[in-house]
Structure 1
Amino acid sequence: MSIPFLDLSPMHAELEAELDEAWRRVSRSGKFIGGELVDRFEDQWAAYCGTAHCVGLASGTVALQLGLSALGIGPGDEVIVPANTFFATAEAVLAVGARPVFVDVDPATLLMTAAAVENAITQRTAAVVPVHLYGQPIDMDAVGQVASAAGLAVIEDAAQAHGSTWRGRRAGSLSHLGCFSFYPGKNLGAFGDAGAVVTNNRALAERIRLLSNHGRTRDDHCRHECLGGTHRLDALQAAVLSIKLGRLDSWNDSRRRVAAWYEPLLRELAVEPVRMAAGACSNWHLAVIQSPHRDHIRQRLCAEGVATAIHYPIACHRQPALGSLNAPRLPVAECAADRVLSLPMGPHLTRAEVVRVAEAIDRALAAKDVVHEPHS
């Protein structure tokens, strides 16, 4: 039997009757864009994140882009982003005409640090985008202090951090704006592309709402207050997300249980699991290890029916699309790109499957004559 990297079917099987009814409800209503179902999810997600406002959007990338735009970030501005992130983080900065300034990451957590942010600030710096990668939140207290002292806006890229917390506070609620993706593979995933911004600032929320809907106000469909676009959350995705939100905490708890099964097994192998920072409670969106033998391990696991993934094999600042930015040398992120491997993870993964993954890694390393050295 193969072990998939992520199997969504058991999650959907749990909710089959509710999801079927959601489709029928939307189909009968004829209200596919906006409306009651979108309003309901926005209220639910804001409450879950501990913020006053939520604006549902078409994707996590759009959430970042409109968030930056609403804060007035644009041409001539610099925005600090980590080099170890998905391309959309930098893409959103470029989309508003600003310049992404990449910083290296901590070698243990592979996350941006406050020290790196502080060292990258210039007179043109307008904002910082901390990324809660793999589900683990960044030290937002330290980053927030540096940003506040420099007068910078802070926009959380929480695309992988649904339900994660930093010292008891939910990801997305720790800055001016929190941006989420609900891509199907996320811990809270839609049946297509979807996203949202959460904030405690009413003016920012309303500005983002205008930008997402051709600059139109809620009460006048024909009046356009500003230039916007078509970036709205549709009713079917909102209905699906409302249903799944009721299971998010239990699914995250199950992921944490899977991570707890992995931990002692991986500790005995010559691999380096990405470490958790004190104060962080991850939703375990991904279970990531590092090894100089990454490609060999992945090939051997594939041969044994164990699916894996790489997040990410090219450091963001080295992407060909950004070649004109004169990429800096950021050794930790560049080294990680050659070493990181994401193992199977999901709320329905069994202990036996976790053991099988670890045993397959052990056999792969043995084939390379790699000797285990205890982790410090």
Structure 2
Amino acid sequence: MAAVVLEGVRKTFPGEAAAVRDLSLEVADGELMVLVGPSGCGKSTALRLIAGLEAATGGTVRIDGRAMDQAAPGERDVAMVFQNYALYPHMSVRGNLEFPLRMRGARRAERRRRAEETAELLGITELLERRPPALSGGQRQRVAMGRALVREPAVFLMDEPLSNLDARLRVRIRGEIAALQRRLGATTIYVTHDQAEAMTLGDRVAVLRDGALQQVDTPAGLYAEPANAFVAAFLGTPGMNLLRARSGGRVDAVWAELGQQRVRLPAERCPERLRRGDGVEFLLGIRPEGFRPVRWGSEDDVLRLKVRMREYLGHETLLYLEPPGPALDPEVPESSPPLVVRIRGEAPPPGEILQLQPDPRGLRFFAPDGARLE
């Protein structure tokens, strides 16, 4: 296996905005790195630049320490699994698995042995003589993965390989991918728009937006300490609530003024900018699980919000509430989304007023432009 390093990689298509902007990223040998972001953020383009299917406008891609600027796709020792499987329908599963080895000139006995070993690894031995049209979506995906595995490449590249599967099968197959990657110790770069998939699969996750890298960290690190408001709102199901606020208070206390309500802030956790004076505008971030329903509380300790809608999920309920002041969706800045709260147990009906106490430990602070306030 091999490490992959991107050094200031750029890609601009003629007549269009930059698809990838100065992307610098290091993927360690044996690591499963996930590239995640909304549609059009440049993640698939970045994968194609690594594979050599697109030529970079600038910067350098290194695989195992070697610059790939002039290397053709076949010289990079990478294998790619595509969203649409890209299987040969006229060949059997065995033929599809053996095809990459045949192109490399492997002997027939060697092709047969490695195809059967790969089929056993993926649990598709009984499918070897079938053709792709006779397979289910999950079976076709395993064959597509097998065609990449059989080559024993230095790097595996996966471009939204589960997007054509139903939700239940996606969960099962992504578990199999994670287990297989750990077993093989294979350097893998996995692209998805599904943040739940990214958080459950990746050793580390790189979040992209408009072609630029926003943050790279472990899933736990991204969730607990997002680098900006976009990462905070994008990661999580649902994402972090972002409320437009204004600072207020006196020497011994700091408040966030949220519309007609306010909530006390822990002074020891407040950024210095908010402690210096009144009237500083900022974004207050609170995860849906960062609230506690209370029966009573002082005016400065609770928010009183009307329930718009509720979603009962069995083990929990999501409440969509009227925000106390303007809220923000980084993808649609002109909107004012509801405030989302995750609770267990009995949920109040729409129209009822709910009293909520924010957990001070879960508060995060961002500048109006979305930058994190330390």
Q: TM bucket by the smaller chain? A: under 0.3
Where relative contact order (Cα < 8 A, 6+ residues apart) is larger, the structure is 1
Greater per-residue helix proportion: 1
TM-score, normalisation: structure 1: 0.26
TM-score, normalisation: structure 2: 0.26
